[in-house]
Amino acid sequence: MENSQILAGAAICTVLIWLGFASFKSHFNAVLFLTTPDPTQNFIPYQIRLCRLIGGFIMILLALMLVFAMIYLEEPAQHLADLRDNSEESKTKLVYTAEQLNFATRYALFWISFLIVLLLLISTSSIDAIFSWRYQKQLRESVAALKTFGLNSKNSADTNNEENNPPFMGKQFPNEN
């Protein structure tokens, strides 16, 4: 394997692992323990968090599969490709041994499983996008309803008197201005 292939593979694996851990870590507690460490993230619905948690796990799995392929599968696969190329150049028929055929089968099954896992990642991302789109649509409708009822008008937001804010509101949600 050439150095450029090693560097490209290492870069792809590093990015996948970094993104996977970032996504997995940020949504792990919220999904499994129903707690959020950051109160600003309370607005993200459970379905979106679950999709992102699964997506992070799948990214880590893809990165580990790539590392496995680079370390264990690349040299034997390159050897088989070189044998095939030499037989084509010399116009001879290549006969594979049972071990080589077994490896070729495992190699093909590995990349088929890699593509299936990649398809799962794409599906999870698509489901996440659909849930996010629905949630944004719901938020837009809620804001439109608030504007319709006049609860989000500039006059009611700027005034800070007892008429607009009941007495208990100042104790429960103190004004930080």
> Could you tell me if residue 99 is inside a domain?
yes
Is residue 63 a part of any domain in this protein? yes
Half-sphere exposure of 110 (CA within 13 A, CB side): 19
Mean pLDDT of 104-121: 96
Is 171 inside a domain boundary? no
Quick one: CA torsion of 157, 162, 165, 166, rounded to 10 degrees?
Answer: -170
The answer to whether residue 173 is domain-embedded is no
> For the chain, how many structural domains are there in total?
1
- Domain-embedded: residue 154: yes
Cβ(29)–Cβ(37) below 8 Å: yes
The residue segments making up the domain with residue 51 are 3-160
In a domain, 65, yes or no: yes
Residues 40-59 have pLDDT tens digits of: 566 677 788 888 899 999 99
Q: Is residue 175 part of a domain?
A: no
pLDDT in tens, 65-106: 999 999 899 889 989 989 988 888 888 888 889 999 999 999
- CA atoms of 9 and 71, how far apart (whole Å): 10
Whether 133 is covered by a domain: the verdict is yes
> What amino acid is encoded at 70 in this protein?
M
